[in-house]
Amino acid sequence: MSLLSKAWSTLRDEGLPAFAGKAARKLRFWLEQARLPYVRTLGLDGGESLQVYVNTPFSRQWYTAARATSPEIAWIRQALRAGDVVADVGANNGFTGILFARAVGAAGRVVGFEPSPANLEAARQNIRLNRVGNLELVAAAVGAEPGTVSFDPGFGNGAVAAGGPATVPQVTLDAHFGANRVDLVKLDIEGYELEALRGARRLLERHPALAIEIHVACYADPERQVHELLGMIDLPAYDAWIQLEVDGPLARFDPAVHTAQRIAQHPNVHWLAVPKARAG
């Protein structure tokens, strides 16, 4: 259907207000595309600010002060200590990595893993714009085995996907870090978190703090896969919290209450945990 036909169809079937609204949104999108890329200043709470590099319509929507203070990001920043080493798996445009780098200070280090070329470009620019010296980027997906993997860049986040149009390198956390210290692992990789954990078995034995976004909606067998994911973690060694609704409150994680069956009923869940030895 041509653009003119679509416009006429909307006007006829939905009326003038709906037509005008859709036309305005489409115009804003085209204008946004025409001025990409650009840099803007994002003000955060407490007088903090970031320079952010906007190179896609998705990233324009992604950079918000609310994201920096969302319950899960606030939890991570509070859990971090000066000098910590962070594995930011699914670094996207570097926004959260910069926040983590500020939290761990000059003595700490953040390693961001990101396979999307567009996201990597934005992350590199954001690191430069904000003069961040303790955030390193690894241009790779993170999975169970080193090698290469099919990847679909999608509209913004991108995801490892069978038959994806791109091929990207893949590393494992165990191989990348070896016996080196990692204090916190953050996973936000669009349903590929089980694979990343399978490649981090030795690292998990050292009980790093964990911040895992469980993309239940991406799972073929949600209850089984959530059960497997939790089974890979030494749960008694951790104090944990769970967020069942996006941007909802954090609740203390109770395995008897927050079963795999219950978690599998929610499309996106954040599971956050700090080792009891560290909490004490």
- Nearest to residue 271, comparing CAs of 259, 135, 280? 259
Residue 6 included in any domain: no
Residue 202 included in any domain: yes
Give 200-229 pLDDT, tens digit per residue.
Answer: 999 999 999 999 999 999 999 999 999 999
Per-residue pLDDT at 239: 98
Residue 272 included in any domain: yes
The alpha helices in 36-179, defined as continuous H runs, are 57-62, 65-68, 71-79, 95-104, 117-129, 173-177
Residue 63 included in any domain: no
Q: Which range of residues forms the domain containing residue 255?
A: 70-279
Per-residue pLDDT at 174: 98
Q: What is the pTM of this model?
A: 0.86
Count of the separate structural domains present in the chain: 1
The Cα–Cα gap between 200 and 217 comes to 23
What CATH number has the domain bearing residue 120? 3.40.50.150
Per-residue pLDDT at 4: 55
Residue 59 included in any domain: no
DSSP output for 164-204: -SEEEEEE-HHHHHTTS---EEEE--TT-HHHHHHTTHHHH
Cis peptide before 71 (omega within 30 of 0): no
Q: Report, as ranges of residue numbers, the positions in the chain whose pLDDT lies below 50.
A: 1-2
- Nearest to residue 136, comparing CAs of 179, 170, 104? 104
Residue 52 included in any domain: no
